[in-house]
Amino acid sequence: MMTITEKILARAAGKASVAPGESVWVKADILLTHDVCGPGTIGVFKREFGDEAKVFSKDGIVIMPDHYIHTKDEKAHRNIDIDRAFVKEQGLPHFYDPGTPGYVGVCHVGLPEKGHVRPGMVIFGTDSHTCTHGALGAFATGIGNTDAGFVMGTGKLLVKVPHTLRFILNGHLPPYVTAKDVILRIIGDIGVDGATYCAMEFRGQAIDEMSVEERMTLCNMAVEAGAKSGIVPPDAKTLDYVRAHSGEQDIALLDGDPDAPVLATYTYDVSTFVPCVAKPHLPENYAPASACRGVKVDQVYIGSCTGGKTEDFLWAAKVLKGRKVAVRTCLVPATCQVMRDLTTLTIDGQTLEQIFVNAGCEPIQRPSCGACLGGPVDTYARTKGSEVVVSTTNRNFIGRMGSKDAPIYLASPATAAATAVAGHIESPWAILGLDRPEPPRTPPAKQDGHPNAIPPAAHAKPVSDFKVTGKVYVLGDNIDTDLIIPTMYLNLVPTIPEEYRKLGSHALAGLPDTYPVFSSNPDGSTPYAIIVAGKNFGCGSSREHAPIAIGAAGCKAVVAESYARIYFRNAVASGEVFPLETPQPLTAEFKTGDEATLDLASGTLTRLSDGKVFPLAAADAVAPVIAAGGLFNYARQTGMVRNA
| pLDDT tens string 276-310 | 999 999 999 999 999 999 999 999 999 999 999 99
Q: What is the pLDDT of residue 621?
A: 65
Domains of the chain: which residue ranges? 4-252+259-271, 274-431, 467-637
| pLDDT tens string 109-151 | 999 999 999 999 999 999 999 999 999 999 999 999 999 999 9
DSSP secondary structure letter of residue 94: -
Mean pLDDT confidence for 184-189: 98
Q: What is the pLDDT of residue 463?
A: 63
| pLDDT tens string 509-546 | 999 999 999 999 999 999 999 999 999 999 999 889 99
CATH of domain 4-252+259-271: 3.30.499.10
Q: List helix spans (H) across 91-161.
A: 107-113, 145-154
Q: What is the pLDDT of residue 619?
A: 66
Q: Which residue has the higher pLDDT, 211 or 601?
A: 211
558 has which bridge partners?
Answer: 531, 579
- Whether residue 299 contacts residue 234, with contact meaning beta carbons closer than 8 Å, is answered with no
Q: List helix spans (H) across 94-178.
A: 107-113, 145-154
Q: What is the pLDDT of residue 127?
A: 95
Q: What is the pLDDT of residue 457?
A: 57
| pLDDT tens string 142-159 | 999 999 999 999 999 999
Superfamily of domain 274-431: Aconitase, domain 3 (3.30.499.10)
| pLDDT tens string 366-413 | 999 999 999 999 999 999 999 999 999 999 999 999 999 999 999 999
| pLDDT tens string 40-65 | 999 999 999 999 999 999 999 999 99
Mean pLDDT confidence for 598-624: 88
* pLDDT band per the 50, 70, 90 thresholds, residue 252: confident
- Whether residue 37 contacts residue 543, with contact meaning beta carbons closer than 8 Å, is answered with yes
Range in 7-16, 199-208, 243-252, 474-483 the model is least confident about: 243-252
Q: What is the pLDDT of residue 625?
A: 83
Residue 152 phi/psi, 5° resolution? Answer: -55, -35
Establish whether the linkage from the previous residue to 281 is cis, with ω within 30° of 0.
yes
Q: Tell me which architecture the domain covering 467-637 has in CATH.
A: Alpha-Beta Barrel (3.20)
Instruction: With 0.85 as the threshold, say if the pTM is over it.
Output: yes
Using a pLDDT cut of 90, give the percent of the chain over it: 88
| Strand intervals (E) in 525-581 | 528-533, 557-560, 578-581
Q: Decide if 274-431 and 467-637 have a common fold.
A: no
Rounded Cα distance between 602 and 466, Å, is 10
Rounded Cα distance between 67 and 271, Å, is 36
Spatial CB neighbours of 258, under 8 Å, sequence gap ≥ 6: none
644: pLDDT strictly greater than 60: no
Query: If phi over 0 gives left and psi between -120 and 50 gives alpha, with beta otherwise, what is residue 634?
Result: alpha
Rounded Cα distance between 605 and 599, Å, is 6
458: pLDDT strictly greater than 60: no
DSSP secondary structure letter of residue 443: P
